Structure 1
Amino acid sequence: MTQQVLLGVENISQLSWGAINGCEAASLLEGFHFNQEAVEVSYGEFLLDMPISQDGNPYHGFGGSPFKNQSGKFEAIFTCPLIEWGRKYGMLRDLSGANSSWLFDEVQRGYPVLTYVTVHFEQPKWEKYPFGLVPVNNHAVILDGFDQNRVHVSDPIDGKYWMAKEKFETIYYSRKMAVSLTK
């Protein structure tokens, strides 16, 4: 039987800062703070340091504004530019493509994992953009706990909660994008 692991990562509410699209930055900063990194950096300062993609492509930087929706933009930042930016603050490891057991292994080792999912863990709503097919209900959370049947996340929209491991894995496997905040 799997024991319960719970790291206890803080929760940063992206909405309380007016960052309706700021989930990746909030999740990343939660993980850094847990690792005692970037502790002097507020979420607002962190958002202002995030690289913005001039072409709106989340594979090049944040594709738009974390504070508003813009027509034709995909307001997100994907793993490669997120890692490049985040390495200014701490150590990161790309787990994209990994089996979910790798994510749980990282948490077991004491490392929070930024995981790309969907808002409220709903089924992905796919749309085509010039850079590819992506879920318009894109979201990022920190995976910071698990037991045999559940996972625990710190969600910048919905707070901290436990949920069914099967539901988490279903949504994670729709893209398999994750970043471990190693020490």
Structure 2
Amino acid sequence: MLRIYFLTALLLLHGCENGHSISAVEETRKEEVTSQIPLRQNMGKTTGHGEGDILFSPYGGQKEQFPSQAMIDVVQINQNPELRYGCEVTSLAMVLNYAGVHTGKLELFRRVKKDPDPIVRTGRDITKWGNPADGFVGDMTGKRSAGYAVFDKPIVDLVNEYLPGRAVNLTNRPFEDILAHVAQGYPVVVWTTGDYRLPDRWESWMHGGERIRTPLDLHAVVLVGYDANNVYINDPLSGKKQHKVNKEQFIASWKALKCRAVSYK
């Protein structure tokens, strides 16, 4: 008879509410096509597909067998020195390369949507800037001015340019859905903070009639694996591959960043 394992982090989440407040910025933030790409034949190397591990299916419905641990071998790509604020497109480059798409971080930098609104300061405070829900805010290279971030929707659009109809927006889904996606062999771009902990400093500015409130240390990484107590990430800033992070700590930071995650199928 199959035994049921409950991963600690899987008990924590049942999705996040959609909101209009935006999560994460700072000028001193850590340094951070083919339309005929075939369905991937090799799902990558995963480990730990133990018998008897049961969890809810990724997107609702019946339960299905689910591994207690998994790991995907995704080639590490670093954002520096070219893209000081380019953690999102660099993370996406890792994911797309794994999917068999021949592209790179600089091509994705050129193609990702941009919000052109310039930064406006009063003293040292940012009073006006762009909306990362619409496109990348600021200068991703960091050479001309400060850069900030881009959120899930423009990244989803970019995935669909390379893999038409295959983008998967896991934003606001329970974290176990993200783990289930990894277990199926798909790496996931996940928004967190620079040290994978709860943000403790915030910034806000106006964009049109909307106030955008953000934690100061936004970061994006690639989730490539997990086990009972940890997740494993490729970090484009530190350059660490399959870096181990406490699962509960990582989930808390992901929730603070409004539960954003993007992959493909």
TM exceeding 0.5? yes
CA offsets, 1:145-165, max 9 Å, x none?
001111110110122211111
Residues in 1 aligned to 2:254 and 2:137: alpha-carbon distance in whole angstroms: 21
CA offsets, 1:120-147, max 9 Å, x none?
2133132112252112211100111001
Indicate how the Cα distance of structure 1 residues 121 and 69 shifts in structure 2: closer, same or farther if over 3 A, else same: farther
User: How far 1:69 moved relative to its partner?
Assistant: 7.1
Which residue, 44, 51, 60 being the options, matches 2:113?
51
CA offsets, 1:2-56, max 9 Å, x none?
532101111111013x21100000011100111112x2x2322221222221122
Larger radius of gyration: 2
Residues in 1 aligned to 2:99 and 2:179: alpha-carbon distance in whole angstroms: 17
Q: Could you tell me whether the CA contact under 8 Å between 1:58 and 1:74 is conserved in 2?
A: no
User: How far 1:74 moved relative to its partner?
Assistant: 5.6
Residues in 1 aligned to 2:153 and 2:205: alpha-carbon distance in whole angstroms: 18
TM-score, normalised with respect to structure 2: 0.63
| 2:204 matched residue in structure 1 | 128
Q: What SS does the aligned partner of 1:120 have? A: coil
Q: Is 1:31 the counterpart of 2:31 in the alignment?
A: no
Pairwise CA RMSD of aligned residues? 1.8
Q: Could you tell me whether the CA contact under 8 Å between 1:59 and 1:80 is conserved in 2?
A: yes
- Equivalent pairs counted in the alignment come to 178
Residues in 2 aligned to 1:70 and 1:94: alpha-carbon distance in whole angstroms: 32
Q: Structure 2: which amino acid aligns with 1:148?
A: A
Q: Is 1:142 the counterpart of 2:222 in the alignment?
A: yes
Q: What SS does the aligned partner of 1:129 have? A: strand
Q: Could you tell me whether the CA contact under 8 Å between 2:85 and 2:147 is conserved in 1?
A: no
Q: Could you tell me whether the CA contact under 8 Å between 1:64 and 1:70 is conserved in 2?
A: no
Residues in 1 aligned to 2:88 and 2:136: alpha-carbon distance in whole angstroms: 9
| 1:167 matched residue in structure 2 | 249
TM-score, normalised with respect to structure 1: 0.89
In the alignment, structure 1 segments of 5+ residues that lack a partner are: none
In the alignment, structure 2 segments of 5+ residues that lack a partner are: 6-66, 118-129
Q: What SS does the aligned partner of 2:115 have? A: coil
Return structure 1 stretches of 4+ with deviation > 3 angstroms.
none
Q: What SS does the aligned partner of 2:150 have? A: coil
CA offsets, 1:55-92, max 9 Å, x none?
22211111111111776x66211111221122111221
| 1:89 matched residue in structure 2 | 162
Q: Structure 1: which amino acid aligns with 2:250?
A: F
| 1:177 matched residue in structure 2 | 260
| 1:62 matched residue in structure 2 | 136
Please state which structure has a larger fraction of its residues in helix: 1
Q: Structure 1: which amino acid aligns with 2:149?
A: A
* Worse overlay, 50-59 or 20-29: 50-59
Q: Percent identity among equivalent residues?
A: 28
User: How far 1:176 moved relative to its partner?
Assistant: 0.7
Q: Could you tell me whether the CA contact under 8 Å between 2:223 and 2:234 is conserved in 1?
A: yes
Q: Could you tell me whether the CA contact under 8 Å between 1:12 and 1:156 is conserved in 2?
A: yes
